[in-house]
Amino acid sequence: MNQLDALKQFTTVVADSGDFRQLDAFKPRDATTNPSLILKAVQKAEYRSLLTDTVTQFRGRALDEIVDRLLVRFGAEILAIIPGRVSTEVDARLSFDTNASVTRAERIVELYQAEGIHIDRVLIKVAATWEGIAAAEQLERRGIHTNLTLLFSFCQAVACGQARVQLISPFVGRIYDWYKKSAGAGWDEAANAGANDPGVKSVRQIYNHYKHFGIATEIMGASFRNVGQIVALAGCDLLTISPELLAQLAASKAPLERALDPQAAKALDLPAVNFDEAGFRYALNEDAMATDKLAEGIRAFAADAVKLEQLILAA
């Protein structure tokens, strides 16, 4: 058994890609996209027609509507290949606007429904700001399921659990990146690998909290830099993995055992934790890594959204 098949015994494998023609080889259940992945895909010759066809069909409509229609076009193509759900992201520039995020999410879902796709096959991705979590809470009450992204801290995860969102995506690799850069020449790769990786430790803390207190929100580790991070989180509810790392897992016969276990989490002695808005904002402020990476992530996704709009205008 290769490592990918072994992982699937404990964890739902999700493909992290807008390149849907790669998906069939790895047979993931779900798939995630983001503005950066879609931007990368539409610049490839094999996907260019999705951009030009969408622009031609809806030329003259508002630019943000054409963007959403393109995102849904990719999502529909992905859902024709996978059996599960696809995550589609609300414009990152709305990360601090609850009402605008809700409105945009509802339109994305309506566009999917117009394609004959059931609402349960779509997760709306929203940044895990306080405003984004509030938007997700509203959407969940309306039957629209959400994926809270750009999640780097325990306080973000706790607030998402309180809001009863469907799923969170803690960013393992970006946490690792921050600590490695911060340590500079003092970074010891071997000492910070596997279970000691700072991104892995963050997800394990969230996992243990959720399972110990019976929080139903799904945990999907994301943004991996190496296979070791994935192996160290075997047993997490879901892991979203790039095609490159999926291929490495499929090519390896090395042993892979469950690393996270819900029964072990239930046996832990953990304090109950809750956050109101003031407490959330202070806890996030106290976490320099999470503050930096959340802001950086929103800026990067917003910049790629602008680049995607420029491609649409030029088409």
- pLDDT (mean) for 115-120: 97
Residue (of 273, 175, 172) closest to 215 by Cα position = 273
Determine the Cα angle at 14 with ends 8 and 15, to 5°.
125
| Percent of the chain's residues with pLDDT above 70 | 100
pLDDT of the residue at 25: 86
pLDDT averaged over every residue in the chain = 97
The pair phi, psi for residue 116, each rounded to 5°, is 80, 20
Whether domain 3-314 has CATH 3.40.640.10: the reply is no
Confidence bin at 8 (pLDDT 50/70/90): very high
Tell me the pairing of strands 86-89 and 12-16.
unpaired
Q: For residue 292, is pLDDT > 90? A: yes
List the alpha helices (DSSP H) in 8-93: 35-42, 48-58, 63-79
Give dist(CA 76, CA 286) in Å, integer.
40
Q: For residue 78, is pLDDT > 90? A: yes
The answer to whether 234 touches 256, Cβ cutoff 8 Å, is yes
Give dist(CA 11, CA 235) in Å, integer.
5
Residues labelled as active-site residues: 125
pLDDT for 146-170, tens place per residue? 999 999 999 999 999 999 999 999 9
Q: For residue 249, is pLDDT > 90? A: yes
Confidence bin at 24 (pLDDT 50/70/90): confident
| Percent of the chain's residues with pLDDT above 90 | 95
- pLDDT (mean) for 259-268: 98
Q: Domains of the chain: which residue ranges? A: 3-314
Cβ neighbours, 10 Å, residue 98: 20
| Residues whose CB is less than 8 angstroms from the CB of residue 237 and which lie 6 or more positions away in sequence, other chains included | 11, 12, 207, 218, 219, 220
Q: For residue 141, is pLDDT > 90? A: yes
Q: For residue 217, is pLDDT > 90? A: yes
Place of tokens 């309306």: 142
| Residues whose CB is less than 8 angstroms from the CB of residue 109 and which lie 6 or more positions away in sequence, other chains included | 119, 122, 124, 144
The pair phi, psi for residue 18, each rounded to 5°, is -100, -5
Q: For residue 242, is pLDDT > 90? A: yes
Q: For residue 20, is pLDDT > 90? A: no
Give dist(CA 206, CA 158) in Å, integer.
8
By CB atoms closer than 10 A (0-12, 13-18, 19+), residue 11 is buried
Confidence bin at 35 (pLDDT 50/70/90): confident
Q: Which of 18-32, 87-101, 105-119, 229-243 bottoms out in mean pLDDT, i.e. has the lowest? A: 18-32
Give dist(CA 179, CA 15) in Å, integer.
26
Confidence bin at 174 (pLDDT 50/70/90): very high
Kindly calculate the radius of gyration of the chain based on its CA atoms and give it in whole angstroms: 19
Confidence bin at 250 (pLDDT 50/70/90): very high
Residue (of 287, 299, 260, 291) closest to 9 by Cα position = 260
